Amino acid sequence: MSTPLLDRPSALPREALPPLVDLVVALADNKHALGLRYGEWCSSGPTIEAGVAATAMAQDELGHARVLYGLLEELPGAPHRSEHEWAAEDARTVGLLEQPLSSWPHLIVANVMLDQALAQVLDAALESRYLPLRQRTRKLIEEERFHAIHGRGWLLQLAAEGPEVRAELEGIIGQAWAETLCWFGPDAGGALAPLVALGVLREAGEPVRQRFLGTFAPLLHGAGLAAPVRAEGGRWVLAEPLPWSRWDEARRRVRHA
């Protein structure tokens, strides 16, 4: 017998609401911020085509945020969010997006790391038992495929320009590494574990992190970029532990030391 869908907020168990609200707020805020950051490069890309691509991705991300903010309005206890009244000081965004992306390599790292990390979390909701989330997720994932192609192509192109550019890319990746890898949650999912148990998410924590690394780590190796991760026994093993003592589950970001 198939598990019945949860077709409205009132069908959700009470304990599932806080982690779902926190997740949707963080997804929407990061997508809104990412759209704004992409948009800052609409007329400043290294080529006309690059600027056009940045414009398209900015429109996609702001549209995704709009969709997720709409989902948030339906959830009891959710904070008020609006694309027209978005307050940066209240945003649950990762550190990489707090300031403008200062170079094209910064934009590409945001593209291949944060953008794709958010896409992995959305992918875990493709068959969600919570129907309002499932209905919104598929279109967002389809648009993210273009973002993945864009990021991979540009990362390889930039890395091929020489050791100075590779060193710059490695430095930016290092700045975003821990926070991006923490985004999926601790090994068993942390605060997202109840959503997995309920079927709102397919998986969280280490399984999603491994899925992300399964695409990202080979990309780094193919670009000739150093990465603090290695393949071992069919898994990806991090060179250093993630800073879980500073991980803020509700805001889904690493607190400053």
C-alpha distances (whole Å) from 133 to each of 78, 141, 150 are 15, 12, 26
Q: Can you give the pLDDT at residue 90? A: 77
CB atoms within 10 A of CB 127: 12
pLDDT of 2 strictly over 80: no
What CATH number is given for 14-87+100-254 in this structure? 1.20.1260.10
**Radius of gyration over alpha carbons of the chain, in Å?**
18
- Enumerate the H helices of 84-205 as residue ranges: 104-110, 116-123, 131-159, 163-182, 193-198
The helix (H) or strand (E) run that includes residue 231 is strand 229-232
Report the residue count for the chain.
257
Q: Give tens-digit pLDDT for 21-64.
A: 999 999 999 999 999 999 999 998 899 999 999 999 999 999 99
Quote the DSSP letter at residue 203: -
Token couple for 183: 């985004």
Domains of the chain, by residue range, sit at: 14-87+100-254
For 211, other C-beta atoms within 10 Å of its C-beta total: 16
Query: What's the pLDDT score for residue 126?
Result: 95
Q: What is the pLDDT, as a whole number, of residue 79?
A: 86
Q: What angle in degrees, to the nearest 10, is found between the helix axes of 206-222 and 131-159?
A: 20
**Are 93 and 29 in contact, with CB atoms under 8 Å apart?**
yes
Total-model pTM:
0.94
Determine the residue type at 21.
V
The winner for highest mean pLDDT among 3-17, 83-97, 114-128, 133-147 is: 114-128
Yes or no: say if 225 and 170 are a contact pair by the CB < 8 Å rule.
yes
DSSP-derived letter for residue 230 is: E
**Per-residue pLDDT tens digits for 184-206:** 999 999 999 999 999 999 999 99
> With pLDDT > 70 as the criterion, what percentage of the chain qualifies?
96
